[in-house]
Amino acid sequence: MAYGYVLRTNGTINISTISKTSRFVSRLKLVAAFGAKLHSEERPRALSLLLVDRATSNEAQEFLYKKQHFVFAAMGDMTVFMERISKAKDFLTKITVDRSGTLMAAICYRQLTGAQSLQRFSICLSVNFKSTLQAHVDKHYEALGIYLLAHGADEAESLTRLEKITFTVGASQSGVTNVSGKPIRPITPEMNGSCRRQIRGLLRKHFMKEETLGTKHSVMVRRLE
């Protein structure tokens, strides 16, 4: 299709400070960020394609969203953006959130359950919670579990979703520490592996509890029979 040719660019789109009061600003910010990456002779036709009308824009969205890595300055920007694009979030494949907090995390992961094409989600650990990396992961799991366990996912599916998650810390962030209280910057691949092992343990506990409850329920049913 022509969309694949016109929207053939791949790369990163940075989105920040999205207004919660304007219903159009996120779409225009997206188009502006996308257009800035195109050669001058490509820009008019690409931007016209995205803005011409709702039907054409909707058809072109898949080609645009799947090719881009969306980087959000803060979790609030991501949540507003996801509300704006609605069903188009099904096409998102790569997302990075550079700043997050404990209060917004649950909303963020609830929205993420609709991103069916997601391949990678990189998130900065909370900036308003100071503790060890292990404690951060335990606290983050309270929200992350919403995504990992969404739609009745079994243990295998939950583990598959977990592999898409990468944890980071900001360049000046000092609230994520090792056991000695020294700030961790950055979170290395080895540390991320340790974080995933920790979460796998939490998921195992969850499913063991589910299995136990299921067994107890079966026993009660048999007794009633």
- Nearest in space to 166 (alpha carbons), one of 116, 96, 113: 96
d(CA 216, CA 219): 5
Residue 150 has pLDDT above 60, yes or no: yes
User: What integer pLDDT is reported at residue 23 of this predicted model?
Assistant: 44
Q: How far is CA 177 from the centre of its chain?
A: 23
pLDDT bucket at 149, cuts 50 / 70 / 90: very high
Which residues, in sequence order, are bridge partners of residue 121? 95, 165
Instruction: Give the model confidence (pLDDT) of 55-100 as tens digits.
Output: 766 677 777 788 788 899 999 889 888 887 778 888 899 999 999 9
Residue 157 has pLDDT above 90, yes or no: yes
Mean pLDDT is lowest, of 28-37, 125-134, 172-181, 196-205, for 28-37
d(CA 9, CA 5): 9
Answer whether 120's CB lies under 8 Å from 94's CB: yes
- Nearest in space to 27 (alpha carbons), one of 4, 59, 51: 51
Is 101 or 195 the better-scoring residue by pLDDT? 195
User: What integer pLDDT is reported at residue 178 of this predicted model?
Assistant: 96
Instruction: Give the model confidence (pLDDT) of 6-57 as tens digits.
Output: 555 567 777 775 555 444 444 545 544 554 444 444 444 445 555 556 676 6
